[in-house]
Amino acid sequence: MGESWLARMAAGVLVGVALAACAVGGGVADEVNLVPLPSEVEILPAGFALDEPMVISAPPEAAAVAGHLVRAVLDATGRRPELGAAGAVRLSLDAPQAGAEGYDLVVDPDGVRLSAATPAGLFWGVQTLRQLLPTGPGRQIDGIRVSDRPRFAWRGAMLDVARHFFAVADVKRYIDLISAYKLNVLHLHLSDDQGWRLAIDGWPDLTAVGGSTEIGGGPGGFYDADDYREIVAYARDRFVEIVPEIDLPGHTNAALASYAELNCDGRRREPYTGMKVGFSALCVGSPATDRFVSDVVAAVARLTPGPYLHIGGDEVQTLSAQEYAAFVERAQELVRATGKRMVGWQEIGKAKLAADSITQFWQTNDPPDEVQQAVRQGGKLVMSPASRVYLDMKYDADTRIGLDWAGFVEVRDAYEWDPATVVQGVGEQDVLGVETPLWTETVETIADVEYLAFPRLPAVAEVAWSPQRARSFDRFAARLASHAALWKRWDVTYHRSPQIPWAD
Ligand code: ACM
Judge if the beta carbon of residue 259 lies within 6 A of ligand 1.
Answer: no
6 CA to middle of ligand 1, Å?
A: 49
User: For position 18, what pLDDT does the model report?
Assistant: 32
Domains identified in the chain, total number: 2
Can you give the C-alpha Rg of the chain in angstroms?
A: 23
Average pLDDT over residues 25-30: 63
Q: Which atom of ligand 1 is nearest to the CA of 315?
A: 3
Name the pLDDT band for 27 (thresholds 50, 70, 90): low
- In the listed set 93, 120, 148, which residue is the last one of a domain according to the structure? 148
Clarify whether residues 181 and 321 are in a common domain. yes
Residue 210 pLDDT > 80: yes
- CATH code (residue 104): 3.30.379.10
Clarify whether residues 293 and 346 are in a common domain. yes
Residue 11 pLDDT > 80: no
Q: What is the chain's mean pLDDT, rounded?
A: 94
Clarify whether residues 224 and 139 are in a common domain. no
Clarify whether residues 205 and 111 are in a common domain. no
Pocket perturbation via mutation, ligand 1, pick of 345, 382, 404 by most ligand atoms within 8 A of CB: 345
Judge if the beta carbon of residue 392 lies within 6 A of ligand 1.
Answer: no
Catalytic residues: 315
Residue 171 pLDDT > 60: yes
Q: Is residue 489 part of a domain?
A: no
Residue 23 pLDDT > 60: no
- Of 22 and 55, more confident: 55
339 CA to middle of ligand 1, Å?
A: 26
- Of 239 and 30, more confident: 239
Q: Is residue 357 part of a domain?
A: yes
User: For position 15, what pLDDT does the model report?
Assistant: 30
Judge if the beta carbon of residue 314 lies within 6 A of ligand 1.
Answer: yes
User: For position 139, what pLDDT does the model report?
Assistant: 86
User: For position 12, what pLDDT does the model report?
Assistant: 34
Clarify whether residues 117 and 160 are in a common domain. no
Q: Is residue 503 part of a domain?
A: no
Residue 435 pLDDT > 70: yes
Q: How many CB atoms lie within 10 A of CB 303?
A: 18
Which residue has a Cα nearest atom 3 of ligand 1? 314
CA nearest to 475, candidates 44, 103, 25: 25
- CATH code (residue 347): 3.20.20.80
Which residue has a Cα nearest atom 1 of ligand 1? 314
Q: What are phi and psi of 249, to 5 degrees?
A: -85, -10
Whether residue 114 contacts residue 105, with contact meaning beta carbons closer than 8 Å, is answered with yes
Pocket perturbation via mutation, ligand 1, pick of 163, 314, 348 by most ligand atoms within 8 A of CB: 314
Q: Which atom of ligand 1 is nearest to the CA of 312?
A: 4
Q: Is the pTM of this model over 0.85?
A: yes
Name the pLDDT band for 16 (thresholds 50, 70, 90): very low
**Please, which residues have CB within 8 angstroms of residue 242's CB and are 6 or more apart in sequence?**
186, 187, 188, 231, 232, 235, 304, 306
Residue 77 pLDDT > 60: yes
Judge if the beta carbon of residue 308 lies within 6 A of ligand 1.
Answer: no
User: For position 126, what pLDDT does the model report?
Assistant: 98
Clarify whether residues 261 and 244 are in a common domain. yes
Q: Which atom of ligand 1 is nearest to the CA of 277?
A: 3
Residue 163 pLDDT > 70: yes
Please tell me the distance from the alpha carbon of residue 154 to that of residue 360, in angstroms, as a whole number: 11
138 CA to middle of ligand 1, Å?
A: 49
Which residues form the domain of 265? 154-470
Q: What percent of the chain has pLDDT over 70?
A: 94
CA distances from 64 to 70, 71, 234, 241, 305 (A): 10, 11, 12, 17, 19
pLDDT digits (tens, 9 = 90+) for 176-195: 999 999 999 999 999 999 99
pLDDT digits (tens, 9 = 90+) for 238-293: 999 999 999 999 999 999 999 999 999 999 999 999 999 999 999 999 999 999 99
Clarify whether residues 165 and 117 are in a common domain. no
Clarify whether residues 139 and 161 are in a common domain. no
Judge if the beta carbon of residue 362 lies within 6 A of ligand 1.
Answer: yes
